Structure formats: structure tokens, C-alpha cells
A and B are shown apart, each in its own frame.
Chain A
């Protein structure tokens, strides 16, 4: 019997047409085209059922609903939840209203999120940092008191720094969906909401460590890794082991010869491919525990790639292109004739490679 293939739907995002299966969301269709037009996602996380729609970072404008009904949608829609229709036209990075709304979302998210990136373990891997760089402004208009919380140990290996939390609910979905018992949720309401366990140190199941991986900011941190290093100084390596609890497929992070962190493997959208158990994550910190597969593929525009590639091979991200477009070169009219290398003392010439020696 011949397989009946579903009819593909054509959708145009920022002028680029793509064909997708029915039921695909705008976000997924955009991701199919590539990171250049994929809307940012702070709360949506593909492996977690029911996630999305909360942060409103992925709002897009639907300029035409479908080929049958080409009317635009009256409001911006959350691309992570809106299914595509055949002939739909979506404006993402090309629409000023969308960029303005996202600018607003960055501002809202940063009202209570501290800018402690220099000491935060998530720096370099932080979705909010990337989102703010791409869509935010360098100043804030907020002058009221910010909310602060005490740090909580919500289990033997995890620390919750609620002050940094942006209430994306990802960790709640993770705990609900991949562990047997519900141990934490959201307490309070409005801007007094907080992720909590009600009882301290309540999270002790085998897969609890995954809440660290899904956290888009530095609210949930690995107590075995906190303050040990900056991510751009580490070397990620894919590895596996025979684990009776999980697949055992992980990324191990080296500082020199030392394994300083073990995480689940992540795809290009920073989403884990397989959730891993606590034994692999927290207890296997020796190279001899693992079978090494090879270096992890990391996006060249990621800070993890810093200093590991030639600059001219890095494809700039949307945010970098925005920054470059706004860059104004300084017109330098100084007389540079007095700054030639010929005026260096002769002993310095000997140290230069031959190709750089001055012409006689």
C-alpha cells in the first residue's frame, strides 16, 4: 500500500517561502528556514508538551492569514502556538511593530532580572542575554524597587536563584513531564509569582537535574559547577556511557584535563535532545567514566566558539548585524606618517616575522 503524504503548506516568512506539513507552527516553519528568521523563544521548548505562549518574545505579525482568507490578523500572534495555513505571510524581523513589541518584552523581562551577567553562571549560554542583545536597548526607564529573593537549595544538587527567574515555566513542565511526582510549581500571583517547592530541598528524584538545562537564564544552577568557570574557556566534548537510568548520551565540559560539568546534549536551538539522569550529570566527573565521541559541534557565532575560529568565517547573528548596521565608523584624519613601523628601534625588527619586516 502506498503511503499517502500530507499535502504540504506554503508559508512565507520575511519573504522566504518554505513548505511545511499541516500542524506546523510558525516558529517551527521559521526554524526550518534557519536562525536568520527564527523568532526568539524564551518559554517555548520543543521537548516539553504545553510549553510556549507565555513570554511573548516570539510575537510575529501575520500579514496574510492564508491563500483562501488573505486578511491580516488584527493582533501580533505568538508564533510558537499559531499553526501555519497555506499561503500565510508572516513578518518577523522585517516588521517594525514586531521589533517594537519585542523591545518592550525585553524591557519587561529585565525589570526584575538583575544584570549580574559578570558573575552569573549562565553568561554565554543565556537566552535572555541573546534576546536582549538582539532586541533590547542599553538603558532602562524603570526606577522603582526591584524584587529580590533569598537563594534556595531545592535539592542536593540544584540552587534556585529566584531573583533571576523570568517565570517561563519550563522547569515546572520538566518536573511534571519527565519525573514521577510533581514537586514544584508556581506560588503567588502577578509579579509576586515565584517558582517554589514550598518545602525546602524537596527535589530529589533521578531526573531533577534537567531543570537546570531547560532554564533559559541563570535561575537554576548546578551546585557542582557554580562559579567554576566561564563557558567560553571550556571545551565541550560529546561522550556516552552505559547508564541503566538514561541514554547516557551527554556533553562533558573540560577545563584543561578536568571535567567540570556534564550536561545533556543540545541542538542548535539550545534545546536538549535527550534528558539525562542525575548520576550522569552530577556524579560522573572523570574522563574514565566516559567513552569520548569527539568535540561537540557548536555554532560559530556562539561565545563558546570564542577564539577557536578565524573571525572572518563566523556568520554574524541577527543581533550582530543589527549592531553592525548601527555602527558609525570614526573618521580618522590624523597624520599617520609619524606612526610607521620604520621608526621602531632596530632591535624590535629582529622579533618580527619576515613577512612583516619593513621595506628597506
Chain B
């Protein structure tokens, strides 16, 4: 049985209430951290655990914490990024809805470690019911003395605020989130300075994902070494994967990092295989912004070894033959999926969500979407494929924030691996624009 860190008690009836959560061993990390540990010792344990940020970028969490500037007389903040809105990613939502106290416990422990007396949970505005669940849980924790002034008589104060966002994807980018939290238009900031030096209200701030923060209490209870023993290589611990698409059992699964991709797709414990009667065509492994892979490369590395669900294995070979674990938005496509239509759909999303601040992203995302729309609807030209590759190249790496890259990678990778399909749309517009029409040419289906 695989180790469960975040979802072990998620199916216990009433786990969303303080009393049930406490009976299952909840809030012991708060007691241990506040009464027996120093903030530095907690940071050290998180560093030992080697946990990488679960929001998408995969930056080591302990290292991020240790970068936090500590000037005298200036408050420090912890901000929980719960603005999950990447197409295909829905794991934070699942966690907050079902077991809100896990996040709150993690917030208390993390805030104590970082020396923050006021922390924020920035939740996507559409999830109003989740916001109500969180607020209720915060009120319960406060009533039991785990939040507010002088927590458990240790002299540590913490105020926890739930802030609904306006519903813009860009506000999931940490600096845009801070701008939004300050009440401004959610435009990403230029970096440096990084939030660890000048973040919320120009004060040192750590921004972490829900899943990352929820992990902190387990690390405090069990130690960094125990966490690091789970997983594989530098991909330590467990990861929530939100699996969707043409699989038999879509849902959120907690896996130990290092599970083979093939097992994750086909095992009954997880996705339960490709829907009956169909074949595996392509995979988006980490949310819509990461490069798409054809089935053969999704399951195996270029050298023939099995590809694993880990940061390193998924990115093996760079973008030529690899992708990213990202936020864990695992989308499976079978042979009935039109890659051109899917790419256009992703592109449409990034065009809509570009903040419009910097010129390559503002103009480039729209341009790509329009060209893809033309190809999908039978008005593509031969030069359009290379045009898309070139436009993606000119956006990638030249923008203020990673949204430019997120818009460029799906397009560039789809053309890299499924060029024939784009070509078929251009060569056979009458056939390609029929409802449900899909390229049936030579493909490595599994």
C-alpha cells in the first residue's frame, strides 16, 4: 500500500470539522512545532525533506524559505497560493474542500517557521463554497486556541485571512497574486526583487502552493529524513495528481513520486487504463502549460527505459523528448482526440488569460490562437506551421512572467510531435472540418 501523507484521512466522515480532524491526530504538528521546536529547526527539517514546490515550478521549498529576508522591524508574510486554475489541475481544490484543517495546520506551522504573524490564503474567486469551508475551519481552530493571540500559551500570534481572488489565471503567478492581494490589477511584477526580499506590501514574503504547505505538518511530525525516504532521487515525497481525460477512473490520486507513468495510467489503483476500446494517443503530464507528449514518449524515455512520475524522469531529454511534472494536471488523450483542436483550445485559454502587460505575450498569444483557429477550421496555409513555431520561439523566454512560456510550449510541442496532423488539416480542409473528424494517419498509438 502506497504511503499517504495528505489523503490518509480524507475519506473519514466529518474530517472537515475540527473535532474529527483532531481525533485523527490533527494539530499535533502545531503543538510539536510551537512548544518544542525553533523556527530555524523547522526550516532545516523542510530542507532535509527535499520537498519541491507543488504549484508547478518545482522549486525546493526549504531553499525558498531560507531565502526569506529578515530585516528588523519589518513584518514577514506567508501567502498560500490557492488560485489553482490551470486547465487539467484540480488537486488543491479537492484538498481544501475535503480536509481544510490540513491546510490550516500547515499554515500555522509554516507561518511559525517563517516568523509571520499574519498569513493569507488567496483562493480563486469561483470557489466561493471552498472559501466558506475554509473560513468555518479557521473559526473553529481559532475557538480552540490554535489561531489568534498567544497560540497554545506559547506567545506566538497568528491571524489567518482567506482572500478571494477575482478569477484571473494570471493571479496564480506569485507576484501577480501579491499585486491582486494588495488590491491592485493582477499584473506580474518584474523580478528581481523576488518576493522573499520585497513581496506583499514590499515586505519579505513566501508564496507557497496549498499542497506544499499542507505537507509541512507531516514533515514536522515525522522529520525531514522520513519524508525524503519516500519518492525517488530529488523528487521526494508524495504528489497529488489530478487525472482527467480518456481514462476509466478520473480523479485525484496521491502517489509516491517514482511510480512508472504506465502503471499510473493502467493500474486499477489509479487511472484504471484508457477508456475501453480505445488507444492511448498523447499525454499532458503537468497541466495544460507543459509540453504534450505522444504515447510512446509518455511511457518510455528516449533510451527505452520506463518513464516515471517524477520531476527528473518526466523532463528527461529536455523538451525534445520530455515534458514537466508541473502542477500534476495529468490529461490523457485517446485516438479520438484532435491534437490541433486541443492545441487551439489551450491557446485560446492563454490568449484570454494573458494580462497584456508585455508585448510578446499580449500580441503573440492572440496571434497563435488565431492561426490555430484558422488551421482547425480549414483555412490554414502551408507556411502557418512554421509561422507558429517561430512565433512560439519569439514569445518563449522573452516575457515578464512564465505565462508566455506556458502559452508557447503546448503549441511548439504539439507541432514537434504531431506535425503530420497539422499538415493533414492544411492539406484536407474539407475532411478535417467535418464534425468529429480526426487524423488517422501514422501514429504511435499504445
Chain A residues in the interface with B (C-beta under 8 A) = 52-57, 59, 75-76, 78, 81, 100-101, 104-105, 107-109, 111-112, 141-142, 144, 166-167, 169, 185-186, 188-193
Contacts and interface: CB of A to CB of B under 8 A. Distances in A.
B398 A76 contact: yes
B234 interface: no
B190 A81 contact: yes
A19 B359 CA distance: 32
Contacts of A104: 360, 394, 398
Contacts of A109: 359, 363
A266 B351 CA distance: 37
B359 A192 contact: no
A105 B360 contact: yes
A280 to B, nearest CB: 33
A190 B352 contact: yes
Query: Which label, helix, strand, loop or mixed, suits the secondary structure of the A interface?
Result: loop
Interface in B353-380: 353-360, 362-367, 370-371, 374
A266 B181 CA distance: 38
Contacts of A188: 356
Contact of A189 (B356, B359, B363): B356
B397 interface: yes
B355 A54 contact: no
A220 B370 CA distance: 29
B66 interface: no
Contact of B394 (A108, A169, A190): A108
Contacts of A53: 190, 358, 400
B336 interface: no
A309 B371 CA distance: 48
Interface string B42-68: 000000000000000000000000000
Nearest to A109: B359
A101 B398 contact: yes
B352 A56 contact: no
B387 interface: yes
Given A53-B358, A189-B168, A190-B365, 9 more contacts: A54-B357, A56-B358, A101-B394, A167-B356, A189-B354, A190-B353, A190-B356, A190-B362, A191-B366
B333 to A, nearest CB: 27
10 contacts: A55-B358, A56-B398, A57-B359, A101-B398, A105-B398, A108-B359, A167-B356, A186-B356, A190-B352, A190-B356
A190 B348 CA distance: 12
Interface residues of B, number: 29
B399 A56 contact: yes
A193 B374 CA distance: 23
B419 interface: no
A185 B353 contact: no
A185 B245 CA distance: 41
B400 A190 contact: no
Contacts of B353: 189-190
Contacts of B359: 54-57, 105, 108-109, 166-167
B354 A190 contact: yes
A239 B88 CA distance: 63
A54 B352 CA distance: 18
A190 B397 contact: no
Contacts of B352: 189-190
B185 interface: yes
Given A56-B398, A191-B351, A111 B367 contact: yes
A169 B187 CA distance: 12
Contact of B362 (A75, A81, A167): A167
- In this complex, the member of A104, A107, A169, A189 whose beta carbon has the largest number of chain B beta carbons within 10 angstroms is A189
A76 B354 CA distance: 21
The 7 A-B residue pairs whose C-beta atoms are closest, nearest first, are A104-B394, A193-B356, A190-B354, A108-B363, A53-B190, A191-B366, A144-B370
Nearest to B351: A190
Contacts of A57: 359
Contacts of A59: 398
- In this complex, the member of B354, B367, B371, B374 whose beta carbon has the largest number of chain A beta carbons within 10 angstroms is B367
B273 to A, nearest CB: 39
Contacts of B362: 108, 167, 190-191, 193
Contacts of A189: 168, 352-356
Contacts of B387: 141
A54 B362 CA distance: 10
Contacts of B357: 54, 167, 169
A303 B363 CA distance: 30
Contacts of A186: 185, 356
Contacts of B397: 75-76
B194 to A, nearest CB: 13
A144 B379 CA distance: 12
- In this complex, the member of A101, A108, A109, A192 whose beta carbon has the largest number of chain B beta carbons within 10 angstroms is A108
A64 B399 CA distance: 21
A62 B367 CA distance: 29
A108 B362 CA distance: 8
Contact of A54 (B185, B366, B370, B400): B400
A149 to B, nearest CB: 14
A56 B396 CA distance: 12
A242 to B, nearest CB: 40
A287 B363 CA distance: 45
Contact of A190 (B185, B355, B370, B399): B355
Contact of A185 (B185, B360, B394): B185
- In this complex, the member of B355, B371, B387, B394 whose beta carbon has the largest number of chain A beta carbons within 10 angstroms is B394
Interface string B97-134: 00000000000000000000000000000000000000
B173 to A, nearest CB: 14
A58 B355 CA distance: 20
Interface in B368-421: 370-371, 374, 383, 387, 394, 397-400
